[in-house]
Structure 1
Amino acid sequence: MWLVGPRRGSLGTGTSGPDLEASHVRTDASQNRARILDAARELYAAKGLDVTMRAVARRAGLGVATLYRHFPDREALVVAAFEHELADCDRLSEEALADPDPWRALRGVVDHVVRAPTGNWAFRAESLDEVKTGEARARAMTNITELVRRAQESGDLRADFSPSDLALLVQASDSLSATSPAAARRLVAYLLQSFSARAAPLPAPGPVSVLGADFG
């Protein structure tokens, strides 16, 4: 005798009918949102924040109408992409803070940011709405400051190093990253050596904005 499973709409343990269709819709929407954010981050890193919504939709392989269903305007997309970028930074910095070697942890974060294809545009995103991105900025800066403090307390990082110097490092390598990633990594390696506690004293830091917060 053939065993026949529950028919569509009948009682059974599987998901069927409207519930299954709704699940597919939610999955598609989630995947589309992720594609949009990935495309936006790539374009912001390569071309800055003036990229059009149409360009983002084209990079994501989606229609403009689909993009607007997720993000009603350009500002909403930029803020969401910024927060997504900082969420990645949060995960990276939390892993680094768990590393028992503070100097290795700090160098690892810097190396990752320089190597990542979308890893540095957030450091240039100074025009974002402070109210909408303030929490993400504060969380990122807390982790960065703690990484710096640990490396200084271990005696590996020079005492006159400022968290704003990380932004200077990223900005210095930024122009090279698009054309020669290898050259950018080499420049960063040179700069990291100068951050060692055994290097010569530095001049006082000048004013610079890191994730929208002013240091100097």
Structure 2
Amino acid sequence: MTEHLTHLRADARDNRDRIVEMAREVFAAEGLDVPMREIARRAQVGPATLYRRFPTKEALVTEAFGHQMHRCGQIVDEALTDPDPWRGFCTAMEQVFELHARDRGFTAAFMAAYPKALDFTAGRAQTLVKVAELARRAKESGGLRPDFVIEDLIVMIMANSGIRASTPAAAVAASRRFAALARQAFAASSERVNLPPVGRVSLVVT
């Protein structure tokens, strides 16, 4: 009996892990509009199994991208410890852009309004509060242009998420170059930065 229960628990855990992994993969490649039943089909589980573990898409998105959200917060926390606020701001921007370039599903989740996914929306709100504090310090140091607003960074994140490249490495390379361009745009002075090489990107017309 004990072995049977252990086997059932292992199967349930495997199903859950497969659902989350498939959701992460599908959302990253195709965005958040993929139906829950399609995710269940690709994960090779029944819809009832999926909904038993994740009653809403918000719950599945939260689980699929919880690690990325946590990492986003870590990046900004690390930037806040930099004695040079402008350098910290630029480093955080590059790392956040790279995180989003690797996974456009996360960008869609980060930008989406999910009032039922309290953990996710709370994490996003906390991260943006920290970014605002980082920006305030960067302005006071004279590095960040005084008319910068947090919406400017959000617009840049949205633009960065539009990068389409032949490989993940090329997407990251393009993202780093874009971050360098954003740094130049956000700088209070007429600073010129050396642009990193860009990978092969695709022109996609929708």
TM-score normalised by the chain length of structure 1: 0.66
Q: Does the residue aligned with 2:52 lie in a helix, a strand or coil?
A: helix
Decide whether the 8 Å contact of 1:123 with 1:167 is kept in 2: no
Identity %: 40
Aligned pair 1:49/2:40, yes or no?
A: no
Q: Which structure's residues are more often helix, by fraction?
A: 2
Decide whether the 8 Å contact of 2:86 with 2:143 is kept in 1: yes
Note the residue ranges of structure 1 that are not aligned, 5 or more in a row: 1-16, 201-216
Separation (CA, whole Å) in 2 of partners of 1:109 and 1:35: 32
Aligned to 2:185: 194
- The structure 2 residue matched to 1:147, chosen from 116, 126, 134, is 134
Separation (CA, whole Å) in 2 of partners of 1:92 and 1:171: 18
Aligned pair 1:183/2:174, yes or no?
A: yes
**Aligned pairs, number:** 181
Q: Aligned runs of 1:60-209 on 2, under 5 Å?
A: 61=43, 63-64=45-46, 65-81=48-64, 83-116=66-99, 117-118=102-103, 119-126=106-113, 128-129=114-115, 132=118, 133-178=120-165, 181=171, 182-199=173-190
Separation (CA, whole Å) in 2 of partners of 1:34 and 1:146: 36
Separation (CA, whole Å) in 2 of partners of 1:41 and 1:58: 14
Decide whether the 8 Å contact of 2:58 with 2:117 is kept in 1: no
Q: CA RMSD in A?
A: 3.4
Separation (CA, whole Å) in 2 of partners of 1:37 and 1:78: 9
TM-score normalised by the chain length of structure 2: 0.68
Q: What letter is aligned with 2:9?
A: V
Greater C-alpha Rg: 1
Decide whether the 8 Å contact of 1:71 with 1:77 is kept in 2: yes
Separation (CA, whole Å) in 2 of partners of 1:170 and 1:120: 8
Separation (CA, whole Å) in 2 of partners of 1:83 and 1:97: 22
Note the residue ranges of structure 2 that are not aligned, 5 or more in a row: 192-206
Q: Does the residue aligned with 1:120 lie in a helix, a strand or coil?
A: helix
After superposition, give the CA deviation of every residue in 1:135-159 in whole Å (9 maximum; x if it has no partner): 2332122111112112112211111
Decide whether the 8 Å contact of 1:46 with 1:178 is kept in 2: no
Separation (CA, whole Å) in 2 of partners of 1:159 and 1:152: 6
Separation (CA, whole Å) in 2 of partners of 1:178 and 1:125: 24
Decide whether the 8 Å contact of 1:85 with 1:122 is kept in 2: no
Separation (CA, whole Å) in 1 of partners of 2:152 and 2:175: 16
Relative to structure 1, the CA distance from residue 186 to residue 89 in structure 2 (aligned partners, 3 Å threshold; closer, same or farther) is same
Q: Does the residue aligned with 1:175 lie in a helix, a strand or coil?
A: coil
Q: Does the residue aligned with 1:99 lie in a helix, a strand or coil?
A: coil
Aligned pair 1:25/2:9, yes or no?
A: yes
Higher mean Cα deviation, 161-170 or 114-123? 114-123
After superposition, give the CA deviation of every residue in 1:41-70 in whole Å (9 maximum; x if it has no partner): 4433432221122443466x4524543332
